[in-house]
Chains A and B, each alone.
Chain A
Amino acid sequence: MNTAADGLGVEGVHVWRGDRHVLKAVSLHIKPREVLHISGRNGSGKTTLLKVASGLLRPEQGRVTWLGRAISDVRSDYQRALAYASHEPALKGDLTALENLRFMVGLKRRASAAELTGCLQRTGVAGCADLPVRVLSAGQRRRVAMARVLGVRALLWLLDEPFTNLDAGGSETFAALIAEHVSEGGMAVVVAHHELVLPAEARRLELPG
């Protein structure tokens, strides 16, 4: 079995959900400066695969490695190098956008308010920094969630349907952010069920469904 010693490796992973065999011997590798686009029909296990890659879900068979070592052995190192954006934006409606960022980014690294405002600016929601998240639209929440990913300054991005609810401008912004992250040596695994404006060199992984 070849191991991705310089990135993330998912090797021969099997996952059962109740009676359903959701992931059948799925493997993926990603190195710095790479984007992996995971596609597939609804229910083909895209989100499950991302959860396995993040370490939230332990596969019944197979293993997940980070820099060549099993993620269970390097859990806290791996989590610090990881920014995971789930399908839910994971924001608190009663907190402002900036407070949400301060608490969730703050758990990973020290970041000043100015820096976090800068992240909000890059995703185009700097004007919402002091508004409670419950008054924001679904697309604006998605942008705040993306600002959190930027704020964490992680090497590996795992993004689950990041383009949902975004307008055309938002999709372009996000694609540019992903491209910039990758060009600076980062890696991104992007789950999306439709065609994307991702960089041309993005590799594809189609899950049979």
Chain B
Amino acid sequence: MSAARALSLVVERELRLSFRRPDQLLQPLVFFLIVTTLFPLGLNLQLSLLKDMAPGVLWTAALLASLLSLESLFKGDADDGTLEQLALSGHSLTLIVIGKTAAHWLLSGAALVLASPLVAIALGIPDTAFGTMFASLALGTMTLSWLGSIGAALTVGLKRGNVLLSLIVLPLAMPMLIFGAGATDRAIAGTSPAGALYFLGSLCVFTCTLAPFAASAALRITLE
């Protein structure tokens, strides 16, 4: 049994499970759309001012939305004994974590990236900045999923771990917010966002190489 086949099996299982629960699948997306529409309504801003705030609003909402579904990343499997089976499957737990986290990103981060043009139009972000917005959101949400996998693994044994999970993950997500919103900001202003995007890319590579090991170590402790 090759590692690649096991990985695809884990991803397929996660996707299939999620599509059986469309309500949970749509929650982060609807949250993202509603929060970002609340800002223009509540602030009664001029369009020019709104455009200045738009990257920050977009990014904060995206981070919170993808945080919503993080708690369930390992919790269901830990509660019903599936995690034990996965840990004894003959594959490294790190591989399983990679598969589950990748599936989580496809269902939360990638979905947010696809929905972001709607929000961008509502916030008055010019379509010349869409490319940068897509790239920065994709890298940022991916980094958040990797970071979140550590938080989710650490809090998997707790009854109400959601608040603690946010407290662990959000401070670590601040660099992504700064550089992600910064990149979008620059693209709106018409200057090159390359520096910020490179930084986001390096964060993503950094977390995706280390987080699976940390998360699987945390899960192993939970299993004892």
Contact = CB atoms under 8 A, between A and B. Distances in A.
A90 B9 CA distance: 17
B1 interface: yes
Contact of B13 (A76, A82, A103, A132): A103
B9 A54 contact: no
A165 interface: no
Contact of A56 (B1, B16, B76, B223): B223
Given A94-B21, A95-B16, A99-B16, A79 B81 contact: no
B80 A79 contact: no
B80 A92 contact: yes
Nearest to B85: A90
B200 to A, nearest CB: 33
A82 B88 CA distance: 8
The range of chain B's interface size is 20 to 34
A107 interface: yes
Contact of B85 (A58, A76, A84): A84
A57 B90 CA distance: 16
A107 B17 contact: no
B90 A79 contact: yes
A205 interface: no
A56 B90 contact: no
Given A92-B82, A107-B1, A108-B1, A54 B88 contact: yes
Contact of A58 (B16, B87, B89, B224): B224
Given A86-B84, A90-B84, A91-B80, A107 B91 contact: yes
Mostly, the B contact residues are helix
A94 B89 contact: no
Interface string A91-105: 110110001000110
B6 interface: yes
Contact of B1 (A86, A94, A109): A109
B19 to A, nearest CB: 9
Interface string B17-30: 10011000000000
Nearest to A93: B80
Interface in B56-104: 76, 80-82, 84-91
A86 B85 CA distance: 8
A106 interface: yes
Given A56-B224, A106-B9, A107-B1, A84 B21 contact: no
B90 A108 contact: yes
Contacts of B1: 107-110
Interface string A31-71: 00000000000000000000100111110000000000000
Given A95-B16, A103-B13, 13 more contacts: A54-B84, A57-B223, A79-B90, A80-B90, A82-B88, A86-B84, A88-B81, A89-B81, A92-B80, A94-B20, A104-B82, A107-B10, A109-B1
21 contacts: A57-B223, A76-B90, A76-B91, A82-B88, A86-B81, A86-B85, A87-B81, A90-B81, A90-B84, A91-B82, A94-B20, A99-B16, A103-B13, A104-B85, A107-B1, A107-B9, A107-B89, A107-B91, A108-B1, A108-B89, A110-B1
* Nearest 6 CB-CB pairings of A with B: A88-B81, A90-B81, A94-B20, A79-B90, A107-B89, A80-B90
